[in-house]
Structure 1
Amino acid sequence: MKTIAYFDCPTGIAGDMCLAALVDAGVPLDYLQQQLAKLGISHEFTLSINPTHRRGLRALYAQVSLITPPASEADKPSLQLHQTPHAHSHPATQNDHSPLQSSGNHAAIRNLPNIEQIITQADLPERVKQWSLAIFRRLAEAEAAVHGIALEHVHFHEVGATDAIVDIVGTCLGLDYLEVDAVVCSSLPTGRGQVRAAHGHLPVPAPAVLKLLELAQVPIYSNGLDGELVTPTGAAIATALANYFGDPPTMTLQCIGLGAGGKDLPVANILRLWVGKTAPISDDNSLSKLPSAKPLSYDTDTITLLETQVDDMVPQAVGYLHERLYAAGALEVFAQPIVMKKSRPGLMLTVICQPTDELRCTDILFTETPTLGIRRQNQQRWILPRQIHTIQTAYGPVAVKVAYHPHTHAVLNIHPEYEDCAATALHHQVPWQVVYQTTLHTWYNQQPST
């Protein structure tokens, strides 16, 4: 079973909200502080996480207080990540108009290579490093794009550099502590209005946030709330770590964490973190209980199903459409003959793909077919564990896909890969079926006798 972390973001997402939610879900604050100390910047900040309430709901609130002496004027960058007054306790602010709590001083000014060096040299779990580096690079790429400068010239503003490191690395540490295998995030609200930043007043969503949402093709919507709801740090965390955006996957909940934003909104300003296991059916809830039998379970994953029907598509275009969809990452593509309105013959086109490939496949369907609409839904599917083995046959190496029973490990299906069989058949000028049968025969002969 896999551990899934689902970020439910009805009022948006910020780095400090993620950090607080993880602590509320069971990540010890002492553990985070001990690990963050390995970054070598403990003299620049203090991290506190305290209980609070938002619209009558209990949550935790994270705050990074800066204690570093001010940087000299000569050290200040020509470009800074924007400093925004918004709904969350963002790297730049504590609330609507007040700066982040500190001793009146500023933290060191850093660019992307500086931050990458800090993370790389720290004695942290390897995937924490990789996640953190990916988030910062994505954030810097968005800033570089909106300002039209080279990536290495992006500087993080003097307040945000330190607490962005704490929020991002701390979030990655928390996910690693909970042994999370995959991250899913809800659709994100845009907010509205303007924010005051280092570059003047900016529209909401801020340019860097909008670029992050565009690059990751994040589904967005307006919930009618004013102010910045998705911060650059929050957007970078979500777009770098989430496997897909949308509804929560099927899972058995293990714990829930609530992280509060800094502003009191008309609704509870809380990010909800759901942590669960992908499990098909709880044994306690099964209709039939057989105590002597070991309960069955299979792995699951989430796929996206796209469907549309057409009655005016030339047959030759269907084959080309299949090729383009498979090249875009589709797991399965098929066409079924149907009878449509006015008794017209048509085709039902169905595409199964990973959620991350949905928009690419959707774009191909719209551009390569005459359809005006596409139905979509996320579905859960049972999957068998499988492996690819390359075996040496009389005609050369051929890949074989082998599927196993998850409990008995018995072989359930063996399929020589079509492409390998086709290439081998052409090379040796023999029928495809001969290569296929020879491969199966060779595989069975190589298995130990029972």
Structure 2
Amino acid sequence: MKKIAYLECPTGIAGDMCLGALISAGVPLDYLESHLAKLGVSQEYRLRSELVKRQGQQAIKLHVELLGEAGGETDHHHHEEDHHHHHHHHHEDHHHHHHEGDGETGGLGDGETGSVLPQGGRGRKHQEPQEHHHHAPTRHLPEIEGLILGAKLPVRAQDWSLAVFRQLAAAEAAVHGVPPEQVHFHEVGATDAIVDIVGTCLGLDYLGIEQLYCSPLPTGGGIVRAAHGQMPVPVPAVLKLWEARQVPVYSNGIQRELCTPTGVAIVVALATSFGPPPPMSLNKVGLGAGSRDLPIPNILRLWLGETEVMSVPAQGNMETVMVLETQIDDATPQAIAYTSEALFAAGALDVFTIGVGMKKSRSGILLTVITRPQDTPACEQIIFQETTTIGIRRSLQERSTLHREIQTVTTPLGDIAVKVAKNNHINKAYPEYEDCARLAREHQIPFTSVHRMALDAWHSHE
């Protein structure tokens, strides 16, 4: 059995939400504190967790309180009060974000500043967005790497932390047009970002997680004020991170900053895939709270479970695909054939139809399209344009595929391309139809004879 985790992010993701979910799932706070102390920056922050409610549901809120030079708490207080509440634990340190809008700021979960009133603790609610002028030391990527490598952390936590920071630095570098090691910005160097990223990696290692999965992520919306002016949500670094992994995203209608660079960098660097929960035996769920109440519970849910090792093919590939379906009872075969051709041209991975019985005893077809998430809009446009349907169902699914490559074999009749699929000791060969058909016509022999020659030639070289 393999230990796996699934991050369900209905209101986005941020570093402090990840930490809260991990603590809720059983990672001791003192374990995180003792290992984070090895980084040598513990004089810059204080950790505090509390049980809060979001839309009536309990979850753990983790605060990373930055300390002033004299050891006092800064007014930064986790940026909690100006963002949605699960901003980048410090998205704000990064961009000095403030959410524009109706007098409330929010939408983050990490570095955000939101209106959180800790139960049983001293809470504050900012009435207006305000600039935070005190910041933790600004650091560059090489310095962060040095802190992590010198801390003697558990090997997996160390490697994961480095991977996340490098992913984040690469995104910021792409935004600003400089090499990653020259990125000069608060985000990567902010103390709270260090705590969020390294703490999350420590927690995943503590729980023995072998593979991490993540749900599609909500885009959020609106405008945030940053040090260099206003920026649209999602902010540029988040878009670059999503682009790097082709992360499936969607709008849940909430006009706040929901996904922070720190939170997104964690899953982009560490998640095996994005989509629905993988098959697992569910053992426990950890709940990490963002800082603000939203129309839906502002809680990141960490599912912990086990799965059979063979559920993910060795040397194979796991990928997330979008499955589109619609029933049609009044289209001609020619129209369906044309639609299929157009869908393949638009990037569909597969298109097929099944005969179905529909309402009023009408015979029809079920048109199914499998495509990459980013090609969904183009495929839906074709279906609406070329068929009579008025509705399309969509679902994100994971699929496992064998490693595939094209090889060329030589036969007495000529060269034939052969698609080869491999997985451990599994080898499958599929001579390409077009090559076999062309040679069969040229030599006036049965297609099956050419197909057999191609397979014999391939097997003789295996």
Please indicate the TM-score interval, normalised by the length of the shorter structure. 0.5 to 0.7
Q: Which of 252, 272, 288 in structure 2 is aligned with 1:259?
A: 288
Q: Show the counterpart of 1:207.
A: 235
Name the structure 2 match of 1:25: 25
User: Which amino acid is the alignment partner of residue 428 of structure 2?
Assistant: H
Secondary structure at 2:190 match in 1: helix
| Aligned: 1:46 with 2:65 | no
Matched residues in 1 for 2:220 and 2:237: separation?
9
> Which residue does the alignment assign to 1:9?
9
Matched, 1:370 2:370: no
- C-alpha spacing 1:211/1:378, structure 2 compared with 1 (3 Å): closer
Alignment-mate amino acid for residue 211 of structure 1: L
Please report how far the alpha carbon of residue 188 of structure 1 lies from its aligned counterpart in structure 2 after TM superposition: 2.3
Q: SS of the counterpart of 1:325? A: coil
User: CA, structure 1 residues 418+97, in 2 after alignment: closer, same or farther (shift >3 Å)?
Assistant: farther
Distance 1:181 1:35 in 2: 22
Give 1:352's match in structure 2, choosing from 354, 363, 370: 370
Q: Deviations over 1:152-186 (max 9, x none)?
A: 56532389722112212322333344324131225
Please list, as runs of the form range in 1=range in 2, the aligned pairs for 1:144-163 lying within 5 A after superposition.
144=176, 150=178, 154-157=183-186, 161-163=190-192
SS of equivalent residue, structure 2 residue 291: coil
SS in 2 for 1:110: coil
Question: How far has the Cα of 1:22 moved from its partner?
Answer: 1.3
Q: In structure 2, what is the equivalent of residue 86 of structure 1?
A: 106
1:59 maps to 59
| Alpha-carbon contact 2:17-2:110 (below 8 Å) kept | no
Cα distance, 1:245–1:188 mapped onto 2, change above 3 Å = farther
**Does 2:162 align with 1:129?**
yes
For 2:295 and 2:143, the matched residues in 1 are separated by 40
Partner of 1:219: 250
User: In the TM superposition, what is the alpha-carbon distance from 1:30 to its structure 2 partner?
Assistant: 4.3
Query: What CA distance in whole angstroms lies between the structure 2 residues aligned with 1:63 and 1:4?
Result: 26
Query: Aligned partner of 1:65: which letter?
Result: E
Q: Summarize the Cα distance change of 1:307–1:235 in structure 2 as closer, same or farther, 3 Å threshold.
A: same
The equivalent of 1:275 in structure 2 is 304
CA distance in 2, matches of 1:339, 1:158: 57
**SS where residue 110 of structure 2 aligns?**
coil
* Distance (Å, rounded) in 2 between the aligned partners of 1:320 and 1:237: 37
Higher alpha-carbon deviation: 168-177 or 310-319? 310-319
2: CA distance, partners of 1:80 / 1:116 = 18
Alignment length, in residue pairs?
A: 386
Q: Which amino acid aligns with 1:50?
A: S
Unaligned runs of 5+ in 1: 71-78, 281-296, 405-410, 444-450
Equivalence for 1:190: 220
Deviation at 1:339, TM superposition (A): 11
Secondary structure in structure 2 of the residue aligned to 1:64: strand
Q: Which runs of 5+ in 2 are unaligned?
A: 71-92, 99-104, 116-124, 444-448
For the pair 1:431 / 2:431, whether they are aligned, the reply is no
Aligned pairs for 1:109-120 within 5 A: 109-112=138-141, 114-115=143-144, 118=147
The one-letter code sitting in structure 1 at the alignment partner of 2:137 is A
Residue 234 of structure 1: CA displacement? Answer: 2.8
Q: What letter is aligned with 1:305? A: V
Q: Which moved more, 1:85-94 or 1:41-50?
A: 85-94
Aligned to 1:306: 324
Mapped to 2, the partners of 1:246 and 1:386 lie a distance apart of: 19
Following TM superposition, by how much is the alpha carbon of 1:232 offset from its aligned partner in structure 2, in angstroms?
3.6
Say if 1:209 and 1:230, in contact at 8 Å, map to a contact too. no
The alpha-carbon distance between structure 1 residues 44 and 370, as it changes in their structure 2 partners (threshold 3 A), is: farther
**Scaled by the length of structure 2, what TM-score is found?**
0.62
Q: In structure 2, do the counterparts of structure 1 residues 323 and 176 end up closer, same or farther at CA, with 3 Å as the change threshold?
A: farther
Q: How big is the shift at 1:267? A: 6.1
- 1:187 and 1:111 map into 2 onto residues whose CA distance is 28
Distance 1:191 1:10, change over 3 A: farther
- Tell me how far 1:21 sits from its aligned partner: 0.8
CA 1:172–1:313: 2 relative to 1, 3 Å:
farther
* Contact kept in structure 1, 2:10 and 2:218, CA below 8 Å: yes
Read off the aligned partner of 2:111 and give its amino acid letter.
Answer: P
Single out whichever of 385-394 and 60-69 deviates more from structure 2.
385-394
- Cα deviations by residue, 1:386-415 (Å, 9 ceiling, x for unpaired): 6789999997998854678xxxxxx8x752
* 1:312-358 per-position Cα deviation (integer Å, ceiling 9, x unaligned): 648577557536536xxx2x4435689999xx9998653335xxx22
What is the RMSD computed on CA atoms of the aligned residues? Answer: 5.1
Aligned equivalents of 1:201 and 1:63: distance in 2? 26
Give me the whole-angstrom Cα distance separating, in 2, the residues matched to 1:98 and 1:162.
26
Q: Distance in 2 between matches of 1:109 and 1:82?
A: 13
Cα distance change, pair 374–212 in 1 and its aligned pair in 2 (3 A): farther
- Once the two structures are superposed, what CA deviation does each residue of 1:275-294 show, in whole Å capped at 9, x if it has no partner? 223469xxxxxxxxxxxxxx
Shift of 1:436: 0.6
Secondary structure at 2:50 match in 1? strand
Task: Spell out the pairing of 1:409-424 with structure 2 (5 A cutoff).
Answer: 415-418=428-431
Cα distance change of structure 1 residues 199 and 212 upon mapping to structure 2, 3 Å threshold? same
Counterpart of 1:46, as a letter, is Y
1:220-263 deviation per Cα after TM superposition (whole angstroms, max 9, x unaligned): 2125xx75443343344345555555543443212211112233
Deviations for 1:175-217, whole angstroms, at most 9, x for unmatched residues?
Answer: 344324131225427266x6554346666x3634773587445
Q: Is the 8 A contact 1:421 1:436 kept in 2?
A: no
Q: Does 1:231 align with 2:260?
A: yes
What's the TM-score, normalizing by structure 1?
0.64
Q: Secondary structure at the match of 1:255?
A: strand
Mark the CA change 1:270 to 1:362 in structure 2 (over 3 Å): closer, same or farther: closer
